[in-house]
Structure 1
Amino acid sequence: MGCLESLPYEVLLAKISFKEAREYLARFPEKYDVEPGYKMFEVRIIGVPPIRVAVDGDAIIFPFTKPCHGTFLVKVPDGREEIERLRKKK
C-alpha cells in the first residue's frame, strides 16, 4: 500500500468539498473522471463520484481525502506513468 507522504506533492487547496475540487479542475483542458477506489501512486482515491483528476504538463492533480482532516487538492509534479495509465483507460 502506498502513502501520499512518500511522494513530492504540493497542496493547492485544503479542506474543500468534492464539488469544489471538480469545479477547480474544470479549468484544465485534460481531465478525467475516475470511480472511488481508483489507485494512483498505489494510493486509493476515495470520495463522491465522479472524482475528477487533471493533467497539467507532467503533473497530475487530484483530490485526496485524509479521514478526520478533510479533502485536499494535491499536485504531484512527476505523474507521467499515472497520466499514461489514465489516457489508456479512457
Structure 2
Amino acid sequence: MGCLESLPYEVLLSKISFKESREFLSRYQEKYDIEPGYRMFDLNIIGVPPIRVAVDGNALIFPFTKPCHGTFLIRVPEATEEIERLRNRK
C-alpha cells in the first residue's frame, strides 16, 4: 500500500466535503469521475461517489481522505503515468 507522504504533493484545500471538492474541480477542463476504491499512486481513493479528479497540465488533482483528519484536495505534479492510466481506463 502506498503512502501520500511519499509523494511530492501540495494541499489546495483542507477539511472539505466531497461536494465542495466536486464543485472546485468542475472548473478544470479535463476531469473524470471515479468510483470509491480506485487506486492512484498505489493509494485507495475513498469517498462519496462520484469522486471527481482533474488533470491540470501534467498534474493530477484529487480528493484524499485521511480518517480522523478529513478530506483534502491534493495536487501531485509530474503525474503523467497516472494521468495516462486514468485516461485509458475502461
TM-score, length-scaled by structure 1: 0.98
Find the aligned partners of 1:66 and 1:78 in 2 and give their Cα distance. Answer: 23
Q: CA deviation at 1:41?
A: 0.2
Secondary structure of the residue aligned to 1:75 is strand
Aligned to 1:24: 24
Aligned to 1:68: 68
RMSD value, Cα = 0.6
Q: CA deviation at 1:89?
A: 1.2
Identity of aligned residues (%): 78
User: Residue 82 of structure 1 aligns to which amino acid in structure 2?
Assistant: E
Aligned to 1:50: 50
Number of residue pairs matched? Answer: 90
Find the aligned partners of 1:85 and 1:53 in 2 and give their Cα distance. Answer: 13
Find the aligned partners of 1:28 and 1:42 in 2 and give their Cα distance. Answer: 24
Find the aligned partners of 2:78 and 2:62 in 1 and give their Cα distance. Answer: 13
Find the aligned partners of 2:70 and 2:87 in 1 and give their Cα distance. Answer: 28
User: Residue 17 of structure 1 aligns to which amino acid in structure 2?
Assistant: S
Q: CA deviation at 1:78?
A: 1.2
TM-score, length-scaled by structure 2: 0.98
Runs of 4+ with >6 A deviation: none
